Homo-oligomer: A and B are copies of this chain.
């Protein structure tokens, strides 16, 4: 690809997806993910660069193939189901448009509706189904016409947990058996992990990270990615086998040299009410500045009283270990960082 302009926004993306490969685009709102997808689909023009599918050039900035000549399947972020057609007709649309007979198209469409759990609603209009049901129809519609390139803009965002698991497996099976390249946008790390072979992180129209799901999640390169993974991230400095983070006394040993990125899981920071008996450089006083209850733990945001003495970070306190006076906004606490869990990698 190359660059795409949209108003004052510019997207700059280099993307190569092999046949059979699924790439997930991750990134904050407005990063340009949908823009990239629309460009691949032929709905937005490339300013510079080119798009090729197999041996064919779809767009090289001057000559462009129109969307209906591209055999792409798109699931749009806001579904864009045709309001005047029944769910069945919506799913059959692509097949009919590409020349299937009415009966054949309807049979396959009914099949697909069953697969997304809406077999009994075939005759309903899009306005008569719930948001999540609509999204499932959109998914079925894109897949039904057997595209060469599959583009999915948050295909599971509005789908409920139960259906999500099933749809995700279905989708994975589909993607595995799918011969062409697929690009998936998602905000859900689990979706990306399960479905994608590679993850590209977009921010502000630029690629900030790209790699295998494991790589991207274990060594996130931006605060966005770190918060998605659910770890604390810091920039640090490695010198002579020692790692330091800012002016903080929290340091550790390392093999690296130079600037590094460092993660720390929230479970690696213990929060206690009382001062330690034996002071250590990895234990420091802090204040609770944020608090969120989760299923098995309470996630605290703790900020060191003396910025040079410690790190501001998220710490999970398991529900079972919760003591009075800790999980309260403004509480004064002691934080102990388990330095063995600091993970450093080159900047």
Within 8 A of B (CB), among A90-143: 124, 128-133, 136
Bound complex: CA A189 to CA B184 (Å): 23
- B213 and A162: CB pair below 8 A? no
Q: A290-B169, A293-B193 are in contact. Are A227 and B161 (CB under 8 A)?
A: yes
Residues of B within 8 A of A227 (CB): 161-162, 165
Bound complex: CA A209 to CA B130 (Å): 21
Among B77, B130, B169, B293, contact of A30 (Cβ-Cβ < 8 Å): B130
- B29 and A128: CB pair below 8 A? no
Interface size class on chain A is 35 or more
- B161 and A194: CB pair below 8 A? no
- B158 and A131: CB pair below 8 A? no
Q: A224-B160, A227-B165 are in contact. Are A190 and B30 (CB under 8 A)?
A: no
Q: A29-B159, A160-B224, A224-B161 are in contact. Are A294 and B131 (CB under 8 A)?
A: no
Residues of B within 8 A of A193 (CB): 293-295
Bound complex: CA A6 to CA B125 (Å): 13
Among B6, B78, B130, B136, contact of A34 (Cβ-Cβ < 8 Å): B130
- B77 and A131: CB pair below 8 A? yes
Nearest Cβ distance between residue A273 and chain B, in whole angstroms?
Answer: 22
Answer yes or no: A223 CB below 8 A from chain B CBs.
Answer: yes
- A229 and B295: CB pair below 8 A? yes
User: Nearest CB to that of A265 among chain B residues?
Assistant: B296
Answer yes or no: A28 CB below 8 A from chain B CBs.
Answer: yes
Residues of B within 8 A of A274 (CB): none
22 A–B pairs (Cβ distance < 8 Å), ordered by A: A28-B161, A28-B163, A29-B130, A29-B131, A29-B160, A30-B130, A31-B160, A34-B130, A78-B131, A132-B187, A154-B158, A158-B187, A160-B187, A161-B187, A161-B189, A162-B224, A164-B187, A169-B292, A172-B292, A189-B295, A190-B294, A194-B293
